[in-house]
Amino acid sequence: MSPTFHPADTALIVVDPQPDFMPGGALPCADGDGILGGIDNLLRQRRYGVVVATQDWHPPGHASFASHYTGRHPFETIDLHGQPQSLWPDHCVQGSMGAALDPRVDWTPVDLILRKGSDPQVDSYSAFRENHGPDGTRPSTGLAGWLRDRGIAEVHVCGLARDFCVLWTAQDAVDLCFRASFLWDLTRPVSAGNDAATRRMLEAAGITIA
């Protein structure tokens, strides 16, 4: 379905539209670049009260990188701070070309660029909260308060990857009492095999799949 919303109180959150997640990148989503035209079109329409873009912004040797561990390989799962942690190829290293916002989109309309995942010991999928840290909590990124200060009550979420960072951002939005729509066609997964489970989790959380 298509979302119905009041632009002044609605934010667009574009999650991690970075070259490392595009075909040819360090951690590619199949057809990841297929969302860029639609995102660029949305930004040019200036329909939203606020636009946020996020960037994965990892230091070298991040705890989510398989290369951080002896004998570990990308896409294995380990226990990190008492929670399952997927291990990834090195990606979106701070200051690298792969960590930039993809230059095929005009990012001029963006009001906030939020960088996440900079703690070397904690991964960060959601735009709203870091993953679990050593103390068992998920620290806030500050985005929820920033949006509320601007009168935002609803968020529309798109970007990469559908089954991780975009999903977690939408789930956290609802947990933090925002209305949320998931712009499915403007997302791509790490694994298409996760799509059915992603849909179930969105529906269970009451998130509109738009």
Listed by start position, the domains of the chain span: 7-209
Span 61-104, pLDDT tens digits? 999 999 999 999 999 999 999 999 999 999 999 999 999 999 99
What's residue 4's pLDDT?
64
Place of tokens 């002044």: 8
pTM greater than 0.85? yes
Sign of the torsion angle spanned by Cα atoms 148, 152, 157, 158: negative
Cα separation, 3 vs 109, whole angstroms: 21
> Is 178's pLDDT higher than 80?
yes
* Residues 161-179, mean pLDDT to the nearest whole number: 97
Given the residues 29, 92, 158, 165, the one annotated as active site: 165
- Note if 172 is an active site residue: no
Q: Rounded to the nearest 10 degrees, what angle do helices 195-204 and 167-175 cross at?
A: 10
What's residue 7's pLDDT?
87
> Is 5's pLDDT higher than 80?
no
Whole-number average pLDDT of the chain: 96
- Note if 116 is an active site residue: yes
What's residue 125's pLDDT?
97
> Is 192's pLDDT higher than 90?
no
Given the residues 16, 20, 90, 172, the one annotated as active site: 16
Write out the two tokens for 67.
């290369």
Let me know the angle formed at the C-alpha of 12 by 9 and 17, rounded to the nearest 5 degrees.
165
- Note if 165 is an active site residue: yes
> Is 41's pLDDT higher than 80?
yes
Given the residues 90, 102, 116, 172, the one annotated as active site: 116
Percent over 90 (pLDDT), the chain: 95
Write out the two tokens for 89.
């190829």
3-state secondary structure of 207: coil
Place of tokens 């970075």: 18
Q: Please name the amino acid found at residue 1.
A: M
Tell me the chain's radius of gyration from C-alpha atoms.
Answer: 16
Fold adopted by 7-209: Rossmann fold (3.40.50)
What's residue 1's pLDDT?
56
Q: For the sheet with 112-116, list strands across it.
A: 112-116, 50-56, 10-15, 154-160, 179-188, 208-209
Percent over 70 (pLDDT), the chain: 98
